[in-house]
Amino acid sequence: MQSSRFFDEEIDKDNRPIDAVDDEDTSGGSVPVKPWDPGKIRITTKSFSLRDVVDQIEDSEIDLSPDFQREYVWKARQRTRLIESILLGIPLPAFYFNQEKDGTYQVVDGVQRLSTIALFMRNEHVLDKEDLEYLHGLHGATFDTLEPAASRRLRSTQIVVHVIEPQTPDEVKYDIFGRVNTLGSPLSAQEIRHAMSKERSRNFLRTLSESESFDAATEMHYWRRDPSTGRSTRDSGRMTNRELALRFCAFRWFVNEDYRKHSSLDAFLVEFTRRLDGSSDSAHPISDEGLEELRLDFNRAMINARSVMGRLAFRRLSGSGAARRGPINRAVFESQAVALASYEPVEIADRLEQIKNAFVGLFEDSDYARAVTVATGDPRAVDKRLNAARAALAGVMK
């Protein structure tokens, strides 16, 4: 499958457009930040043997977050070097787990390492001498073919795990994980939300973010080829595509009064993810019928955005509608998509140019332009960008 790129932009060393989605200032502006109480933080440090960890993974007591960072799955050489390090007795860096109220764990930092260990102990990875640095005699070995002493050493290896306990508020957990430096790149905001979520929201957001209508509206469907295997995997851009889908659903479902109850944009999105999963402490879960309604709304919004704005959809433009296309702007995405979701494609078919002009004209309003660029987490900015786009569209449709 050939890669599909946004346009003739510069490509970084990982073959990803460097300006696919722009950076964002999500601060609350002049709105005071609601501080959380450090006394609510509950972190315990535990030791687990690798045998215990893999058993709990197999029993679904430890969740490795299926498809988490799937485009960054370790290569065979990295896997072999990790197993070799363990057999050499080299301690592993600490892991971070999120604990749920039912006692199960979600792995936030250490997914690739634990995935590799579980893979090897299931005899699904074979050590290769080309990748071994010291233990060349283990060429061709699987877990079951290790000598008893080596097998015991691996199974009894202790790892250190920092566990964020369930009584710690979600927004505090999110902030803690946001401060954690992982072995690779620091986790993105959506990767943290994904790691703290459950299968229901993961599957739903994946369905939306990999839909044909979303691909057409955003042109975010690009692929990475693994040079060692020749296989291509869909690149989510550090789950930016799922974040956009989540933000649409959250702002489509909630009114601004609901948003103001939360301490930040991140806290708002974490809580909505909880509602998708049916694990919120403060609100009813979103029903299957509600999910279907959101799916239809999202699909309608994406089809309309492509029809109205073409390849300029969700970009920050000058008031003159300058043709130079920049990256997708998350706040503009919310603004345009939420407004467009209220109309069927047939309803707007004969007014596409007028709607486009109305959306472009919003950027002449300095308050709107600021609402999609500066302090986008400020409730006043959220209110401005959502209501301005709705009003502009309603003015054309009246």
With H, G, I as helix, E, B as strand and everything else as coil, classify residue 222: strand
109 with 180: CB under 8 angstroms? yes
Q: How far apart are CA 124 and CA 323, in angstroms?
A: 51
Per residue in 127-146, pLDDT tens? Answer: 999 999 999 999 999 999 99
pLDDT at 182 over 60: no
Using pLDDT thresholds of 50, 70 and 90, give the confidence band for residue 370.
very high
Give me 368's structure tokens: 């709107």
Classify strands 62-63 and 105-109 as parallel, antiparallel or unpaired: parallel
210-215 contacts at long range (C-beta below 8 A, 24 or more positions apart): 210/234, 210/241, 211/298, 211/299, 211/302, 213/298, 213/299, 213/302, 213/303, 213/306, 214/241, 214/244, 214/245, 214/298, 214/302, 215/4
pLDDT of residue 9: 33
CB atoms within 10 A of CB 261: 14
Q: Which residue has the higher pLDDT, 182 or 367?
A: 367
With H, G, I as helix, E, B as strand and everything else as coil, classify residue 152: helix
Range among 189-193, 280-284, 333-337 with highest mean pLDDT value: 333-337
pLDDT at 357 over 80: yes
Closest CA to 262 of 274, 251, 270: 270
| Residues near 306 by beta carbon (within 8 Å), at least 6 away in sequence | 213, 216, 217, 313
Per residue in 74-84, pLDDT tens? Answer: 889 999 999 99
CB atoms within 10 A of CB 272: 25
**What phi and psi, each to the nearest 5 degrees, are found at residue 117?**
-65, -45
Answering whether pTM is above 0.85, one says no
pLDDT of residue 35: 59
Closest CA to 253 of 295, 216, 196: 295
| Residues near 120 by beta carbon (within 8 Å), at least 6 away in sequence | 79, 83, 142, 143
- For the chain, give the number of residues: 398
